[in-house]
Amino acid sequence: MIEVNDLHKSFGDAHILKGITTSFEKGKTNLIIGQSGSGKTVFLKCLLGLFEYEQGSISYDGKVFSNLSNDEKTEVRSQIGMVFQGSALFDSMTIAENVMFPLRMFTKQSKSEMQDRVDFVLNRVNLDDAHHKMPSEASGGMQKRVAIARAIVNKPKYLFCDEPNSGLDPKTAIVIDNLIQEITDEYQITTVINSHDMNSVMEIGEKIVFLKDGLKAWEGSKETIFKTDNEVVTDFVYSSELFKKVRKMYIEENQ
């Protein structure tokens, strides 16, 4: 469980996050949605401790991050897995080496134990025959899956994904979404996902936080998002013809 209290973040004069309070639950896929530029990535990077923030607090399972000692911070960080918007694979290493990296860094396992674990997670993301490829030789969807494998290889307690399915075809996108949800449920991870994809919302939005202009405009789940009257949300959700039709059918069905 991650709790955020009154988070403020500025870059110079630009006030990007204007006081966000919310929480992300364990074993669930928590979605942060909102328009491009609404501050999703900045918010995620604050959660990860990549950005310093002026005001507010973030706590991981009750421990306020900024109050921890350096060793404790490293401890929390070694329990975090992150899938970056652009995958961020180490391009001097093969796919298997990328996935093995957190194990080499943070565990004392033997070479064969690590190898087994890498085989296991690569199999989990359906990449059985890509061990020796370089990241530059893999397609975008494969890179995303490698990034997910690297993020979960060391059994993290917290998983963060910045638009895990942007730039992928709808089918692969849904495969990736479902994969993240299964893993979240299986290992009881606290997962936070940035997205602006309505398909993801419908698939895996167990908890949804809607950001607009650096503020939390709405909070709910995939069950409630189609029922809300909140104009900011409906404006976003029904911006495409497809979802307008879905809504019309939904209303007709319920009459």
Ligand X SMILES: Nc1ncnc2c1ncn2[C@@H]1O[C@H](COP(=O)(O)OP(=O)(O)OP(=O)(O)O)[C@@H](O)[C@H]1O
Residues that bind ligand X (CB under 6 A): 11, 14, 16, 34, 36-42, 196
68 counts as binding other proteins under rule CB under 8 A: no
Residue among 85 and 230 whose Cβ is closer to Mg ion: 85
CA dihedral sign, ordered 210, 214, 216, 217: negative
Instruction: Please report the beta strands in 171-253, taking only residues with DSSP state E, as ranges in sequence order.
Output: 190-195, 207-212, 215-220
Determine what percent of the chain falls in helix, strand and coil, rounding each to the nearest 5. Answer: 40, 25, 35
Residue 82: CB minimum distance to other proteins, A: 5
Residue 146: CB minimum distance to other proteins, A: 12
Residue 63: CB minimum distance to other proteins, A: 15
Residue among 41 and 143 whose Cβ is closer to Mg ion: 41
User: Distance (Å, rounded) from C-alpha 123 to C-alpha 200?
Assistant: 23
Residue 248: CB minimum distance to ligand X, A: 27
CB atoms within 10 A of CB 104: 11
Residue among 19 and 140 whose Cβ is closer to other proteins: 140
Kindly identify the residues of this chain, within the stretch 29-58, that bind Mg ion according to CB under 5 A. Answer: 41
196: partner contacted, choices Mg ion, ligand X, other proteins, none (Cβ within 5-8 A by kind): ligand X
Residue 67: CB minimum distance to ligand X, A: 25
User: Distance (Å, rounded) from C-alpha 240 to C-alpha 199?
Assistant: 12
Residue 63 and residue 69 in contact, taking contact as beta carbons nearer than 8 Å: no
91 counts as binding other proteins under rule CB under 8 A: yes
User: Distance (Å, rounded) from C-alpha 226 to C-alpha 217?
Assistant: 15
255 counts as binding other proteins under rule CB under 8 A: no
Residues 6+ apart with CB under 8 A from 139: none
User: Distance (Å, rounded) from C-alpha 216 to C-alpha 210?
Assistant: 6
Residues that bind other proteins (CB under 8 A): 45, 48-50, 73-74, 76-78, 80, 82, 84-86, 88-92, 102, 104-106
Residues that bind Mg ion (CB under 5 A): 41
